[in-house]
A and B are shown apart, each in its own frame.
Chain A
Amino acid sequence: GNSVTQMEGPVTLSEEAFLTINCTYTATGYPSLFWYVQYPGEGLQLLLKATKADDKGSNKGFEATYRKETTSFHLEKGSVQVSDSAVYFCALSGMDSSYKLIFGSGTRLLVRP
């Protein structure tokens, strides 16, 4: 079945460091891919998405490229800030009639000043 695998956290970085959070997926067909962010005690916010192969989603300095050949959608940011500390979820759109999102387990990012 369809699934999403994310690197385990926590990821701890110093401010202004480069960030990569790995995400790979298994899916039949051509799903859309998403990154959501969850700040402490809050719901999820859509960070970025890509709907087809080679698309690059970007927002707030974050970006991710839909790589069909490696079934990956890694999240990157060139210079993280303390305010980026949160849990990041990779997800794909359901490929069956339920239209549901399938989430990875989340990666906690902690940025130290």
Chain B
Amino acid sequence: DGGITQSPKYLFRKEGQNVTLSCEQNLNHDAMYWYRQDPGQGLRLIYYSQIVNDFQKGDIAEGYSVSREKKESFPLTVTSAQKNPTAFYLCASSIDSVESETQYFGPGTRLLVL
């Protein structure tokens, strides 16, 4: 079955530690996105990538980094510079940027700070 997988489901970060959230898709989609969701709020865009080896900052990129070395993979690193990382992180993909209106989401990773 085609879809988007995110791992792990729960992730714990210690102070000053970088952690990486995985996102993989086998939908052959060109575009991929990372969102952050805080309780009672909508989704905010962190980074997005329209093609391999290219990505752009979203609305809240500070304290995060990404890479897009392969079409199917778009990992997100939460760095120690992100002072309030506790949130639910959602990865999404779409066919290409022109058709990006319909985005398909993974199940999410919940990040907690120890």
A residues engaging B (CB < 8 A)?
4, 32, 34, 36, 41-46, 49, 51, 89, 93, 98-101, 103-106
Contact = CB atoms under 8 A, between A and B. Distances in A.
B90 A44 contact: yes
A100 B33 contact: yes
A93 B4 CA distance: 21
Interface string B1-36: 000101000000000000000000000000101000
B114 interface: no
Chain B interface extent, by class: 20 to 34
A105 B41 CA distance: 5
Contacts, number: 61
A43 B108 contact: yes
Interface string B49-73: 0100000101000000000000000
Given A42-B107, A43-B108, A99-B31, A34 B40 contact: no
Given A99-B31, A99-B97, A105-B40, A44 B105 contact: yes
A99 B107 contact: no
Contacts of A46: 102-104
Contacts of B98: 99
